[in-house]
Amino acid sequence: MALSNDELAQGLIGELEGFGKLVAGLTDADLEAATRCEGWTVRDVAAHVIGTIVWITQGRLADLADPAHTQVQADERAGRSPGELADELTAALPAAQGLMDAFPEEAWSQPVGDGFEGSLADGIEALWYDAYVHADDIRAALGALTEAGPGLRCAVQHVAAFLPAAGFGPATVKLDGFDPIDVGGAGGPEVSGDPHQFVLAATGRQSAFGGVPSIYAE
């Protein structure tokens, strides 16, 4: 079942609040740890998530279309402490919440533009997914346990929507504790198992899971 607009708005803000708490609890040494995102440290991952939200609240949507935007976000925050990074995100959250509250219902189905192919709802889902999976990247880098929560449902829905473009389907994704999702049309084989492992495989963070390819082109 698709996430409602209210679920998307509340889920994104909740995920960002949790991300801020995660970053605030890091040490300076933690920030330099390598992550499973090739070439990225924990600092880089945090800088990307925080920078994206800050840019959006500043109206810098076009900057996110630049292929180099992740590096720019990391460079802008080089040398900052965990507390400084967390404080920047915390300071941006009221504006982010204000945007969620200001969107009229009809806006959620309208295209975002500025290089993003999808509706406003798709964009909010992508932001929530991004914050969830990158928080998981940070925990994995530091040997911490995975936290599922509502963000996992968002991530499953998000990556499943991109699998047909990666050549996967028709198939039914029927993961533990989740409603079935038809990928690329009804029918085809059934993919079952752990939803977290499904997300990791579909995002290229681990080897294939039930034949599920990475949604990212090599």
Q: Which domains does the chain have, with CATH numbers?
A: 5-147 (1.20.120.450), 151-218 (3.30.1050)
- Residue 80 has phi, psi (to 5 degrees) of -75, 150
Distances (CA, A) of 144 to 15, 39, 136: 17, 20, 9
> Helix or strand or coil: residue 108?
helix
Look at residue 216 in the predicted model and tell me its pLDDT: 85
Look at residue 187 in the predicted model and tell me its pLDDT: 84
* Angle between helix 149-162 and helix 5-24 axes, rounded to 10 deg: 120
> Helix or strand or coil: residue 60?
coil
Look at residue 1 in the predicted model and tell me its pLDDT: 61
What is the C-alpha separation between 149 and 15, in angstroms, rounded?
Answer: 9
Which of 59, 3, 50 shows the shortest CA–CA distance to 23? 50
* 10 burial type by CB count under 10 A (0-12 exposed, 13-18 middle, 19+ buried): middle
Question: CB–CB of 101/12 below 8 Å?
Answer: no
> Helix or strand or coil: residue 14?
helix
Question: CB–CB of 213/163 below 8 Å?
Answer: yes
- How much is the pTM? 0.95
- Report DSSP letters for 71-107, one per residue: HHHHHHTTT--HHHHHHHHHHHHHHHHHHHHH--GGG
Sequence-distant (6+) residues with CB within 8 A of 164 are: 183, 184
Look at residue 175 in the predicted model and tell me its pLDDT: 96
Look at residue 188 in the predicted model and tell me its pLDDT: 87
Look at residue 217 in the predicted model and tell me its pLDDT: 60
pLDDT per residue, tens digit, the chain (218 aa), is 689 999 999 999 999 999 999 999 999 999 999 999 999 999 999 999 999 999 999 999 889 989 999 999 999 999 999 999 999 999 999 999 999 999 999 999 999 877 788 899 999 999 999 999 999 999 999 999 998 889 999 999 999 999 999 999 999 999 999 999 999 998 889 999 999 999 999 999 988 788 899 998 64
Alpha helices in the chain (DSSP H): 5-24, 28-31, 42-57, 69-76, 82-102, 120-141, 149-162, 195-202
- Interior angle at CA 215, CA 212 and CA 217, nearest 5: 120
